[in-house]
Amino acid sequence: MKYTCYVLMLAALMAVGCGSKKTVVGPGGTATVEENGDNKKTTINTADGNAVVEQNDKEGTAKVTATDASGKTTTFETSNKIDLAELGVDVYPGATLEEGQNAAAKVKTNEGEMVTAKLLTPDKPEKIEAFYKKLLKDATSFSNAESATVSGKTTGGDSVMVTASWNKDQSKTEIGILVTKKK
C-alpha cells in the first residue's frame, strides 16, 4: 500500500514534543506533525491525495479527513461526546453513553454517513431487543441468553443495527447502535 511508509513515518513523528512542529519529506510526499498542548495535527500529502489527522486528548476527540487525487473525501470522527440525536434513531430509555474516547464515531463519505454509539443500561438484552423490534421498520432479530441483535430501518429509510450484550463484570448491558444514512 502506498501509504504504508507514511503510516510508519506518522508513528515516528508522534513523539514530537509539546508546542512543536516537524516535517519529514519522503520519496512520495511529506508528513507534518504539529503539537500544541492537548492538540495534535498530522498532515500527509502525496501525489495520490492527502490526509489530515486532528486529535484533542483533553476533549477525547479524533478526526481523520482523507482526500484522494480525484477530490473524493472521506471523514472519520471518534469522540467520547456526541449528540445522540445524530444517530437518527431513538436511544433506549435510560441508556447512557459509555465513557471513553471510542464511545461514538462518525464516518462521512460522498455516498452517505455512518454514525455509531456505545451505550450502557442495567436492563437485560431481551428488553433492548423488544424495544428496537417495536421501533424499527422491517425489524429482524437474533438473540441468545446473553445477547441480542436487531436490524431494521428508521421511518426515514436509514439502516439500523443494534447489538445488546450483557457484561457480567459491570452488571450492565452494552448497547451498540450503528446507523447508515445514504445521501
What is residue 82's predicted lDDT score, i.e. its pLDDT?
73
Dihedral sign (CA 83, 80, 104, 21):
positive
Q: Which pLDDT score is estimated for 65?
A: 92
- H or E stretch at 134: helix 125-135
Q: What is the pLDDT of residue 100?
A: 67
pLDDT tens-place values along the chain, 183 residues long: 344 444 444 444 444 445 688 888 888 889 989 988 888 999 999 999 999 999 988 877 888 999 999 999 988 887 767 778 888 999 999 999 887 656 888 888 778 889 999 999 999 999 999 999 999 999 999 999 899 999 999 999 999 999 999 999 989 999 999 999 987
Q: Specify whether the CB–CB gap between 94 and 123 falls below 8 A.
A: yes
Give the cell for residue 15: 513523539
pLDDT at 101: 58
Kind plus residue range of the DSSP H or E element containing 128: helix 125-135
DSSP 132: H
Q: Do residues 68 and 75 make contact, with C-beta atoms less than 8 angstroms apart?
A: no
Closest CA to 166 of 135, 123, 131: 123
CB 80 within 8 A of CB 146: no
How far are the Cα atoms of 41, 88, 117, 155 from residue 138, in angstroms, in the given order?
43, 17, 22, 10
Whether 146 and 125 have beta carbons less than 8 Å apart is answered as yes
